[in-house]
Structure 1
């Protein structure tokens, strides 16, 4: 394994859950937006049944610009369980980054728990030391990093963001989504 950082390989950072490589844009004439908004307002009780719906609030508050064309920059909404307001969000992102770093050191296992509880091999520690020098890593040893990840996962489980019952599949899924969004 190389000693490249997760940031350079996968683009992982505190914004990675929301970042996309290609930002799709939508150019739409305001006359079409106006027509859609008028229809929504006319039929909102049939279309939007929930009085507290964000779509209902948006429909009521929307103002159409005077320009002829509107450009919308599209991006997916983050999963509500991983939004910034959530207490464990920053810890989740940090843990995800640390786990990728452990994987880049060549640590192996059939699931997160086995990877983190496995004995650190000399070649894995060498990779960690290379990464540590390159990235100003605060962990002296790879074992210390693994223990920190285990503590973080325990805290994240208390927040309901991951579960040891499924071997912390939620964090693996988010790493996979980050990798997918960079390709």
Structure 2
């Protein structure tokens, strides 16, 4: 794997990794559930570096590697763009994952949230997808599946909490018109 693509992917994971320190509220704790969700975000960059250094060999034929690396740029750039677009939407820092005291104070339905309920998580999944495309390996596949499942469970927990909060009716309507990780198809009349 080329070092230029590796650098782009590592930059994506660095931006994601900085979020808990630079954007999210600082009153949370990095509890066991947080670490269980976050672990793939630390492991995937190590796998990518091992691939770029030649310690791990990618799966598949040699001739496709360059094309896959070029293709991986699209979800990597989309991940970074969505991450910053979502950061630009917020005015109030969010609680860290899996906090007992993360009752909602408001819901955000504009900007990146106007079409997707969890644009940060979509950005994260795109980063894992880019890693898998750039470096097809059992490890990157397993990390994508694990991260997507963990983020889906986390999103479902957050949605249950929001649906039963003071914003329940508004959030239920919002859920009906937006997708969890991808925009819902627009109904044409």
Give the structure-1-normalised TM-score.
0.27
Q: Which has the higher helix share?
A: 2
Higher Cα radius of gyration: 1
Higher strand share: 1
